[in-house]
Amino acid sequence: MTRTDPHSYFDDRQPRADRWHLRLLVDFDSRVVGGEATLMFPRPVAGIMDLDSKGLAIHRVWVTVSGVEVPFELGPEEPILGRRLRLTLPEATHGVSIAYETSPEAVGLQWLEPAQTEGRRHPFLFSQCQAIHARTLVPCQDSAVARVSYEAEVVVPEGLTAVMSAGPQGDGPGPFPGSRAFHFRMPQPIPSYLLALAVGELESRELSPRSRVWAEPATIGRAAWEFAGVEEMIVKAEGLFGPYDWERYDLLVLPPSFPYGGMENPRMTFLTPTLLAGDRSLVDVVAHELAHSWTGNLVTNATAEHFWLNEGFTVWAERRILRTLHGEEACAAAWAIGQNALDESMDRFRTHPELTLLRTRLEGVDPDEAFSSIPYEKGARLVAVIEQAVGEAAFLDFLHAYMRRFRFTSITTEQFCAFVEERLPGVLGQVDADRWLHQPGMPANAPVFRSASLDAITALAGAWTAGTRPAQPVMRAWSPSELLVYLQNLPRSMGLEDCAWLDRELDLTARGNYEILVEWLCLAAASGYHPAFGRIAEVLGRVGRMKYLRPLYGALGRHAETRALARATFAQAAAGYHSLSRRVIEGVLAQYPD
């Protein structure tokens, strides 16, 4: 028997389900999803089948249609994997059904009180399954190589709307008074981590014939404005990577506790409301999630050890879309901002160099703990260095062949390399891909992305300590990304006078662009600049995006004077954070003495 994924009990010699039928009952009072999952096989099977499960109460297992009981056994709880659910399937089983319930603590779900939503009248529920949390929602072969199509019926309280990573198939009265049933179908085979569900008071606006945005009523107008350009993005992406294969591309703006910037759930990208800057300056996150429709969702990493195949390619793709939309300068700024994130991650992992490889070994390692900018930014730089070696046109041809060859499959780094060797012989050696994939840190041949205006901005920031201050008209001409590059290159803490100058001249504390705002608040926190503390507490009390929480708590925690503020803020805000965010911040604060 072979297990192919260190994070799953999936065994590739056992029967493999290729279709799910889910019936889910969402109960906000008990914070439980009651489920009936039917796993179907392409042909009749028999014997042992191991599933992943975490926190699930398994009530009954039976052969679909015949109703014959299926013996099952739940293994011991493993901290990362959860519990193996071993079924013994009788001869000629076409499908197996499992009645179960989720735990109120399911990591893959966040249940929000009405007060945590924009409208404050209705509760909200959303899922986040990547990398290995689908097993907290559904007993399943929770490995990306075991792809499935699915159908689902979701019963929710009347007045609320359910959306999924699937095509809507209509809704109607639910099985009991006060309930409503929503139907979905995802015909394409997806990895389990792309299963997604959200339930809340939702409205939608059409953005184009194949795209609409969903959000709470209080947010929908701003969301429709911010993302109005999505069709243009899809068209540009299709020009680069080939036809969009998922029919619709809809967006869902979540409440602020959503722990990521975006999640590429197929047909329904999930987004943080912090993207609603009011000036469309943060839509690169949409370009990123859209690009996953090709790199990630069509061609998928086989396991979390090959995560760079998803994210490295997607960051590269996102920047190609950005370049066609907004030009060379905007693209260079994105690479520079990425470089900053990469440097920060390299620094954070200086005692864990093994996590700075692209091809990682994660046996016994929680993928959420291994998460960083390295697969993203180091990965994107490997893609770029290959592109530079063969030329843009030849690389695009290669990419098209790659996607034709591996579409709707989940592959390893080794499969990727074999394909490159086949199509572009010698190039892996030429760019020293082994060094990129299997050695820590950054290789010497890493591409550098520069532009005259970025060089000028970096130089200006570098001259800060010598007393150089940019003139108002210069600063006013900067794009939001350029301003961010400037802030990132300033000293990490400064005098109160200097903070006051920056805040006044650039109106930083009042910014609605969270990238700029949080960069500034980190600087202000590290400098002990009191006028910004109210805003820091407000952001930390509202927003759950880990990308912002980690550096902000870090900046507060590092200095004795602000440490108490960090702890007090966390004590207040923690209950509203996603369990993933909570865990990350506990880790950050644990680094500092009391």
Site string for ligand BES, 269-288 (x = CB under 6 A): ----------------x--x
52, 118, 201, 264: residue in contact with ligand BES (rule CB under 6 A): 264
Tell me the window of 149-157, 259-267, 450-458, 499-507 that interacts with ligand BES (CB under 6 A): 259-267
Nearer to Zn ion, 314 or 410 (CB): 314
With CB cut-offs between 5 and 8 Å by kind, which of Zn ion, ligand BES, none does residue 130 bind?
ligand BES
With CB cut-offs between 5 and 8 Å by kind, which of Zn ion, ligand BES, none does residue 72 bind?
none
With CB cut-offs between 5 and 8 Å by kind, which of ligand BES, Zn ion, none does residue 262 bind?
ligand BES
- Report the residue closest to ligand BES, judged by CB: 261
Q: Which residues in 284-313 contact ligand BES (CB under 6 A)?
A: 285, 288-289, 292, 311
Q: How many CB atoms lie within 10 A of CB 312?
A: 25
Q: How many residues bind Zn ion (CB under 5 A)?
A: 2
Q: What angle do CA 506, 509, 512 make, to 5 degrees?
A: 90
Q: Tell how far CA 78 is from the center of its chain.
A: 24
Q: Which segments of 8-74 does DSSP mark as H helices, in order?
A: none
Supply the minimum distance, in Å, between the C-beta of residue 128 and ligand BES: 7
DSSP state of 331: H
Nearer to Zn ion, 263 or 517 (CB): 263
Q: Which residues in 130-169 contact ligand BES (CB under 6 A)?
A: 130-131
344: CB partners within 8 A, 6+ apart: 373, 551
547, 550, 578, 582: residue in contact with ligand BES (rule CB under 6 A): 547
CA dist., res. 103 & res. 395, Å (int): 47
Nearer to ligand BES, 380 or 385 (CB): 380
Which residues are registered as beta bridge partners of 100?
35, 58
CA dist., res. 554 & res. 507, Å (int): 23
The region that residue 533 occupies, defined by phi over 0 for left and psi between -120 and 50 for alpha, beta otherwise, is: alpha
Q: Does 260 bind ligand BES (CB under 6 A)?
A: yes
Q: Is 376 a catalytic residue?
A: yes
Site string for Zn ion, 279-318 (x = CB under 5 A): --------------------------------x--x----
CA dist., res. 331 & res. 334, Å (int): 5
Nearer to ligand BES, 213 or 431 (CB): 213
Supply the minimum distance, in Å, between the C-beta of residue 376 and ligand BES: 6
Supply the minimum distance, in Å, between the C-beta of residue 292 and Zn ion: 6
Print burial letters for 211-247: b (CB count within 10 Å at least 16), e (below 16): bbbbbbeebbeebbebbebbeebbebbeebbbebbbe
150: CB partners within 8 A, 6+ apart: 19, 20, 21, 22, 166, 184, 185, 186, 190, 195
Catalytic residue among 150, 260, 376, 548: 376
Do 344 and 373 form a contact (C-beta atoms < 8 A)?
yes
Tell me the window of 86-94, 206-214, 260-268, 519-527 that interacts with ligand BES (CB under 6 A): 260-268
Q: How many residues bind ligand BES (CB under 6 A)?
A: 15
Nearer to ligand BES, 137 or 494 (CB): 137
Nearer to Zn ion, 296 or 551 (CB): 296
Q: Does 261 bind ligand BES (CB under 6 A)?
A: yes
Supply the minimum distance, in Å, between the C-beta of residue 35 and ligand BES: 22
Nearer to Zn ion, 131 or 454 (CB): 131
CA dist., res. 367 & res. 372, Å (int): 10
Nearer to Zn ion, 341 or 456 (CB): 341
Do 215 and 253 form a contact (C-beta atoms < 8 A)?
yes
Do 64 and 40 form a contact (C-beta atoms < 8 A)?
yes
Site string for ligand BES, 500-539 (x = CB under 6 A): ----------------------------------------
The region that residue 177 occupies, defined by phi over 0 for left and psi between -120 and 50 for alpha, beta otherwise, is: beta
Q: Phi first, then psi: give them for residue 212, nearest 5 degrees.
A: -135, 160
Q: Does 82 bind ligand BES (CB under 6 A)?
A: no
DSSP three-state, residue 540: helix
Q: How many CB atoms lie within 10 A of CB 1?
A: 8
Q: Does 377 bind ligand BES (CB under 6 A)?
A: no
Q: Is 497 a catalytic residue?
A: no
Nearer to Zn ion, 311 or 498 (CB): 311
CA dist., res. 440 & res. 518, Å (int): 29
| C-beta contacts of 86-89 below 8 A and 24+ residues apart | 86/48, 86/49, 86/50, 86/51, 87/48, 87/49, 87/50, 87/51, 87/61, 88/47, 88/48, 88/49, 89/15, 89/45, 89/46, 89/47, 89/48, 89/49, 89/63
Do 551 and 571 form a contact (C-beta atoms < 8 A)?
no
Supply the minimum distance, in Å, between the C-beta of residue 353 and Zn ion: 23
Catalytic residue among 289, 305, 387, 519: 289
Q: Does 201 bind ligand BES (CB under 6 A)?
A: no
> Which residues are known to be catalytic?
289, 376
For binding to Zn ion (CB under 5 A), which residues are involved?
A: 311, 314
For binding to ligand BES (CB under 6 A), which residues are involved?
A: 130-131, 260-264, 285, 288-289, 292, 311, 371, 376, 547
